[in-house]
Structure 1
């Protein structure tokens, strides 16, 4: 099945379920060659720590001993949520559209970080005038609409070699909390945090909305069904982008709490489905640590950030690119005429 055909059946989710049955793996020969190269570079073995592991991880997905990151892009997916009418966020839904305009005008934090690190930026608006259903009372999306949005996200990654996930949507930390709770279990209070500044009655409304949403889907185990019932358009589009990146063996840098919720859906679809993903940072959102740990991840950074927009991913992209450049351009002992020997290093574990 091609990416362009995804989501076209009478039972649209079946296309994606079939897709994850035959996911491409990293190139074993490239992994072995990159490990061997690390052992010959002019440095003590393992002295660059995680950078060495990232370089080998990249080599496996790119299928070449010397990985190169030339076209990284932050893809910001924006959507609106019906649950915001319950007062779960300190800002009105109109702010989503206003922030999208700010992205396009170059005035947001993500614009400055992308410019700082020479990372591309593209913003995808997802029917902002049509908020999803209030997840406390009804499904966010129909299966057909959810599948169409996943398919749309799959088309968002053309012409890049590193995908950095970003998002924007008032109320989407509520939705992400509901997704995590439904996918991994536990109590709503364990998964709900402050988001963009929810305190007092707003925080209580957020916890109650997540509780009601999780009660509606109690017992459901299919991650795509959970996505369409308590997710959102930007989350569905990110699921599609992550799946398409895997099919094209493009590494993915995951930003924070909300983007991790989309990745969690893919993680639950099949063992190893998110091996091509690395977590950029540990969000200050309180439940992000347990979410990443549930997926076996190890974030690159811990900067106390919780903005979203792909900001953490943009910073991490610079580290990923530095890892690739150092690995691919550093001299070996033989090339430099330096005596020494090295050992292999392990995978990125991200």
Structure 2
């Protein structure tokens, strides 16, 4: 194995270990915050007729009467064996159920992310390269995306495309494996609502960094050597401008996961955000802990992937 490959593996291992430590701290804090509400959670499960005695008996049965750190250690030991427990209210296995709901959300977020990258790069590069009216139009579109909330965009799209034109379904979700065409139609409006906000920030970032790159000395040197402008813009300037854009893209990805909560509630999509919201309302501790763990690890993996891609695109940014 080459030294370069060995250094890369060590870097990835360090980042993953750091991510695991972060997950440990976040889940511990989450459990400590949930502990004071265990009586209310058990009362929720027993219903309106719950008494203090029945609550105490149920807490003993569920193991919620033990010291908090002992409960957390027990949960952590089960996680190490790949067992995230079962929902207090439905009895479903948390790992399987969270994975299913996360898959629904990711099918929306990843499509949005790919479209956002494609459109943002095209608009940002064109605005920086052409300038003038094109630049002002792109800035206007970007500003609109910043100012208009996802919820308002979603409602407007439902009214126009579902109610008025009857082109797309207003609610619901069809899995990709069941019917690809129906899946595409079911996510078209949610993706568009998320896409407009995502493009706003990414397009502005790409435009700004591209303008800075095109003003640098190496661009003037390449031009004096007779290299075509298109090649300078797409092969050199865009590659050097990719670092800040990738950082913004990682933030946009995390923001999309948050924005998906609103979108999923509006369109009745059984995704990760709506599942987390419902579990929080019920006080379903195993589900909340599983969702927290999945969310932290997802953020860690995304940030690691962004760093690796950034290092591949721009050798000056490599941390290996």
Q: Tell me the TM-score normalised to structure 2 length.
A: 0.25
Q: Which has the higher helix share?
A: 2
Larger Rg: 2
Normalising by structure 1, what TM-score? Answer: 0.23
